[in-house]
């Protein structure tokens, strides 16, 4: 077994829960309950009788839904320790930092190849499939004697930082757990300045931050990896760089900086996220998007005043090729299980140099964003197995393309042909669609 997972069971999470959560799962194809299978299991590529429910109903109404089958912080430590022990030296796990509330942040390193790949998950604590996909990837790679595994180990050095925002993950919310007073205690030069714009003190996505404020750690990055916070840069805006004021972002920055010193560059950076639950395919409003991807998180620095120094290293075509590899892998899997093919581009007008993806792209890394369907407040653990498998398939396809060198032969123009994400709809619109289809 990969990640520690409690037995799947039907749970009614309150009046707002989806009806199918409250009913037992019908018979499925294959010998095992798919919710108990690790993401590397190809049994998850078979169509399941529950797949039809994937496109029937949706709501963005925040609600308290079950998440117990996802891996929590304690279980993450246990699993990483098990994987390291069973790997016969292949996997090296180390504590690379501490969250603001004193929880360990771990990295797992595998492979000895010349191309460095950094993968992070749960920068937002209510976006959880990436952590389980990483664990299953490490679990497979730690013991596999397949030709593919041997190629990865020879050509790649993969460093994963799963659940990089453990405080937010334990609270099952987007932001971390940190007050502005704690920031100014660490950085006295910020006393008297306005709090950062991404400081949450009210309500967001159904969570109340008034008693336990926190920051969106994915807006706390800066392309200058040696940047020190300055009072004149606050409060900032979403379009500006971040400041490395949270220990979580500083930890990932330090891992990235260490890999850059060791390899000269980080060839690939992947950040595993979730998006809204109710986006539909642009050409089929009866099909929900399984995930969106992107390699473009900042504008061309040559055209951005103040960012020209990063233009020489910025390589959007490399990012596009990486994303094409992800897309191709999922389209191939869709031949057997069609919902894997519901992949779109994340909006391409995004310009966020204060994100990890934006900052590291400016430092020359090829970047890949995964935006999986539904956060915990809208889907809970519903569809956990299939969505985790989708992340795994995409990662597998990309890593194989990088390890083999095939990624360099992909056409960046194919990235531009990936369909754009369709609109987000709510449960009312979903019911109207369903009624209309039955007339």
Q: Tens digit of pLDDT for each residue in 173-212? A: 999 999 999 999 999 999 999 999 999 999 999 999 999 9
Asked whether residue 155 is assigned to any structural domain, the reply reads yes
* 193 closest CA partner among 202, 206, 201, 184: 184
What is the percent of the chain with per-residue pLDDT over 90, rounded to a whole number? 85
Q: What is the CATH number of the domain that holds 347?
A: 3.40.630.10
Q: Which residue has the higher pLDDT, 19 or 70?
A: 70
Asked whether residue 264 is assigned to any structural domain, the reply reads yes
Asked whether residue 301 is assigned to any structural domain, the reply reads yes
Q: In the prediction, which pLDDT does 34 show?
A: 80
The pLDDT tens digits of the residues spanning 117-144 come to 999 999 999 999 999 999 999 999 999 9
Q: In the prediction, which pLDDT does 32 show?
A: 63
**Highest mean pLDDT: which range of 178-182, 285-289, 435-439:** 178-182
Least confident of 17-21, 130-134, 361-365, 406-410: 17-21
**Over residues 37-45, mean pLDDT:** 95
How many domains does the chain contain in total? 1
Asked whether residue 268 is assigned to any structural domain, the reply reads yes
The answer, yes or no, to whether residue 18 has pLDDT greater than 80, is no
Confidence of residue 427 (pLDDT cuts 50, 70, 90): low
Tokens encoding 261: 């010193």
Confidence of residue 341 (pLDDT cuts 50, 70, 90): very high
CA 402 to chain centre: 19
**Over residues 313-330, mean pLDDT:** 98
* 414 closest CA partner among 288, 319, 314: 319
Asked whether residue 380 is assigned to any structural domain, the reply reads yes
The pLDDT tens digits of the residues spanning 227-244 come to 999 999 999 999 999 999
**Over residues 157-173, mean pLDDT:** 98
The pLDDT tens digits of the residues spanning 72-93 come to 999 999 999 999 999 999 999 9
The pLDDT tens digits of the residues spanning 297-315 come to 999 999 999 999 999 999 9
The answer, yes or no, to whether residue 145 has pLDDT greater than 70, is yes
Instruction: Give the C-alpha separation, 165 to 178, whole Å.
Output: 11
Asked whether residue 183 is assigned to any structural domain, the reply reads no
Instruction: Give the C-alpha separation, 117 to 41, whole Å.
Output: 23
Q: In the prediction, which pLDDT does 20 show?
A: 28
Structural domain for 311, as ranges: 19-174+241-437
Asked whether residue 228 is assigned to any structural domain, the reply reads no
Q: In the prediction, which pLDDT does 207 show?
A: 95
Asked whether residue 359 is assigned to any structural domain, the reply reads yes
């Amino acid at each position: 077994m990969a990640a520690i997972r409690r037995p799947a069971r039907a749970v009614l999470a309150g009046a707002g829960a989806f009806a199918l959560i409250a009913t037992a799962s019908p018979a499925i194809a294959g010998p095992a309950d798919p919710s108990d299978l690790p993401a590397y299991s190809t049994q998850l590529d078979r169509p399941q009788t529950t797949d039809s429910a994937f496109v029937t109903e949706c709501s963005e109404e925040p609600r308290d839904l079950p998440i117990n089958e996802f891996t929590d912080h304690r279980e993450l430590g246990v699993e990483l320790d098990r994987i390291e022990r069973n790997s016969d030296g292949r996997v090296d796990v180390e504590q690379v930092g501490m969250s603001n509330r004193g929880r360990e942040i771990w990295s797992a390193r595998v492979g000895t190849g010349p191309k460095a790949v950094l993968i992070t998950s749960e920068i937002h604590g209510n976006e959880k499939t990436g952590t389980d996909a990483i664990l299953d990837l490490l679990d497979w790679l730690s013991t596999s004697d397949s030709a593919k595994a041997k190629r990865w180990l020879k050509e790649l050095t993969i460093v994963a930082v799963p659940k990089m925002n453990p405080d937010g993950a334990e609270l099952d919310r987007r932001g971390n757990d940190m007050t502005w007073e704690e920031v100014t205690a660490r950085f006295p030069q910020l006393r008297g300045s306005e709090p950062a714009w991404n400081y949450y003190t009210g309500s967001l996505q159904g969570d109340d931050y008034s008693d336990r404020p926190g920051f969106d750690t994915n807006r706390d990055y800066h392309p200058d990896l040696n940047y020190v916070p300055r009072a004149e840069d606050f409060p900032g805006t979403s379009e500006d760089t971040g400041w490395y004021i949270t220990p979580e972002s500083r930890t990932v920055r330090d891992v990235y900086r260490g890999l850059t010193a060791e390899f000269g560059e980080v060839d690939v950076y992947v950040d595993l996220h979730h998006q809204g639950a109710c986006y539909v395919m642009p050409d089929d409003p009866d099909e929900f998007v399984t995930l969106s991807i992107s390699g473009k998180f900042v504008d061309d620095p040559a055209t951005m005043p103040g960012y020209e120094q990063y233009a020489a290293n910025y390589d959007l075509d490399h990012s596009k090729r990486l994303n094409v590899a992800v897309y191709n892998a999922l389209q191939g899997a869709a031949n057997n299980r069609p919902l894997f093919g519901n992949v779109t581009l994340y909006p391409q007008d995004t310009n966020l140099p204060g994100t990890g993806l934006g900052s590291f792209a400016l430092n020359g890394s090829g970047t890949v964003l995964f935006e999986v369907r539904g956060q915990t407040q809208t889907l809970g653990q519903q569809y956990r197995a299939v969505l985790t498998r989708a992340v795994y398939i995409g990662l597998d396809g990309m890593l194989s393309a990088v390890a083999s060198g095939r990624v360099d032969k992909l056409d960046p123009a194919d990235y531009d042909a990936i369909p754009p994400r369709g609109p987000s709809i709510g449960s009312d619109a979903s019911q109207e669609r369903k009624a209309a289809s039955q007339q």
